[in-house]
Structure 1
Amino acid sequence: MSTPLLFLPGFWHGSWCWSEVQAHLTHTGRTTLAVDMAGHGLRARWPKSINKRPFVPRDLAEEVSPMAGIGLDQAGDLLVAQIERLGRGRPVTVVAHSMGGAVLTRAAEQAPKLVAHAVYLTAYMPASGVPALDYTRMPESEGNLVPAALLGDPGATGVLRLDVLSGDRAYRDLLREAFCADVDPVTAEAALGLLTPDSPVGIGVETTTLTRGGWGSVPRTYIRCARDMAVRPALQERFIAEADAAFPGDPTATATLDSSHSPFLSMPGEVARIVAGIG
């Protein structure tokens, strides 16, 4: 019997980003649920300065976020609760995108019997004790466009912040190239309009200690995205290699999409096809 599918978005995104993938899965009969990560989607709280008129860029760069205190503990606990709600005590296949992978890793370590299969869609899959954001400073992350779009000092604001309401064409083009370069322009612009400005830095700087009986016992699949400008292909390969070196008895299954960072928008049918064959 196929397990239910739970979809978790990454930083700045919400459950909305999975809607097309879920539509493609309706004919399979699989139960699907897309959820918001802690501090995202309907759980997000926006900085006041982003809507202030006249707009003062310095205020947005310096305002402490109302979500500054959210960390990996809270995000992991929320995901476990969401898995329990969907599975009603039975295992669930979880598909995580981007920084959602760090949260999936925490939840799978915390409650491995509830995760039938962990699927990482061009997602952070950090090694034991390594903060996910440390990978953005590694050589394999060269070419990552996201850091150039960030505002302010995360140590002061408590978040990684984007100016999602910016009217500057060059800045919006940067966001589009970073997240959804292969998505049709109309859909891409709509998607950028749904991003939230703040993602809690605590989720990316806190760590999970991985054990053989925890995360190491959960079957995993990594779906590469070959044209990703946010999680670079070389970094995706590093995640896979580190996981397989740490837990060689449970090698990572892989698949590859010729897509940007947002295949759920550019090729949702292909994402659905791969996911439907898992769990």
Structure 2
Amino acid sequence: MADTETGAAPLLLIHGAWQGAWVWDGFRAALARRGDQRPAIAVDLPGNGADGAPPATASLPAYLDHLDRIVADIGRPFSIVAHSGGGVVASALAERHPGLTRRLVYIAGMMLPSETGFADMVNHLLPTDPTASGVTPWLDWPIPGEISVVPPEAAIAFFLQDYPPALAVAASRRLTPQGERGRALTAHLTPERFGTIPRLYVQALRDRSVTLPLQRLMCDRLPGATIRTIDTGHAPHVVAPDALLDILLPFLDSPG
């Protein structure tokens, strides 16, 4: 059993676009059922989830300023677990705090090279793979080009197709509007800071949002991560938290 007494690093859990800290509820509960006492800190990024700030305020600088305060509160080395678009935020935070970031985990996440956007990956594949566009063609735009919303039926089809239907409907209705400045992100990364941190990439084999070819392309473009797979759609932390923990914990608790 891993706990704070055995030196297990706290986990900082970073959600993706349109989501909030709530998406980690099942993951945290599964961790607790194992008797694992390490802190697992799920955050609402500014302008997302239950944060309360307008979606238009979402941006990478706002995210990092908020996370810097959480890092200060943690006060010791930690590991980051990020899902989907939260991967870019995780990379940028690790670049800021290489001495405190013990491990980096991307769950079907946007693990991108320095100064590269996810759209660059999508555009690379689109000529031969139209599914690379994921949920984007189905988005509603209350403020065109600035704020997007995922219709519940699209959320179920692209994010939660492998979740029990009633639970998928409930989760789809918890998604919130997303500011585009908090979604179209790039991070400046360096070998001597970000590049020193051990990384794990969990490829979701049935992902319809960040499709498997996109996940593989990102792993190729930013090599060096340990790669594992899980037989789920886009949200294994929601639909299969125990199976995900079976993959994550050996990496998170490995020495070094």
Tell me, yes or no, whether TM beats 0.5.
Answer: yes
Aligned residue pairs, count: 241
Pairs within 5 Å for 1:1-279: 1-26=7-32, 27-45=35-53, 66-85=54-73, 87-88=74-75, 90-139=76-125, 142-143=130-131, 144-152=133-141, 156-164=144-152, 172=153, 174-196=154-176, 198-244=177-223, 251-279=224-252
Partner Cα separation in structure 2 for residue 254 and residue 157 of structure 1: 34
Q: Distance in 2 between matches of 1:129 and 1:145?
A: 22
Task: Name the CA distance, whole Å, in 2 between partners of 1:205 and 1:147.
Answer: 12
Matched-pair identity in %: 28
Tell me by how many angstroms 1:187 deviates. Answer: 0.9
The answer (yes or no) to whether the contact 1:17–1:265 under 8 Å persists in 2 is: yes
Contact 2:141/2:147 (CA < 8 Å) preserved in 1?
no
| Residue of structure 2 in register with 1:63 after alignment | none
Instruction: Answer yes or no: is the 8 Å Cα contact 1:142–1:232 preserved in 2.
Output: no
Structure 2 Cα separation of the partners of residues 262 and 205 of structure 1 = 20
- Whether the aligned pair in 1 keeps the contact of 2:139 and 2:149 (CA below 8 Å) is yes
In the superposition, relative to structure 1, how do residues 16 and 152 fare at CA in structure 2: closer, same or farther (>3 Å)? Answer: closer
Unaligned runs of 5+ in 1: 46-65, 165-171, 245-250
The aligned amino acid for 1:273 is D
Q: Secondary structure at the match of 1:241?
A: helix
CA contact (8 A) 2:80 2:105 kept: yes
Runs of 4+ with >3 A deviation:
none
Note the C-alpha offset of 1:160. Answer: 2.8
In structure 2, runs of 5+ residues without a counterpart are 1-6
| Number of the residue aligned with 1:48 | none
For 1:42 and 1:121, the matched residues in 2 are separated by: 22
Is the 8 Å Cα contact of residues 132 and 204 (structure 1) preserved in structure 2? no
User: What amino acid is aligned across from residue 190 of structure 1 in structure 2?
Assistant: A
Deviation at 1:208, TM superposition (A): 1.6
8 Å CA contact 2:112, 2:118 repeated in 1? yes
Amino acid at match of 2:187: T
Corresponding residue SS for 1:152: strand
Report the Cα offset of residue 73 of structure 1: 1.4
Compared CA separation, residues 234 and 191, structure 1 to 2 (3 A): same
TM-score, scaled relative to structure 1: 0.80
TM-score, normalised to structure 2, is 0.87
Structure 2 CA distance, aligned partners of 1:277 and 1:159?
39
1:10-50 deviations in whole A, cap 9, x for unaligned? 111111111111111111232211111221111145xxxxx
SS in 1 for 2:166: helix
1:209 CA displacement: 1.7
Q: Greater shift after overlay, 95-104 or 140-149?
A: 140-149
- Give the counterpart letter for 2:123 in structure 1: R
Asked if structure 2 preserves the Cα contact closer than 8 Å seen for 1:68 and 1:157, the reply is no
Give the 3-state SS of the residue equivalent to 1:113 in structure 2. coil
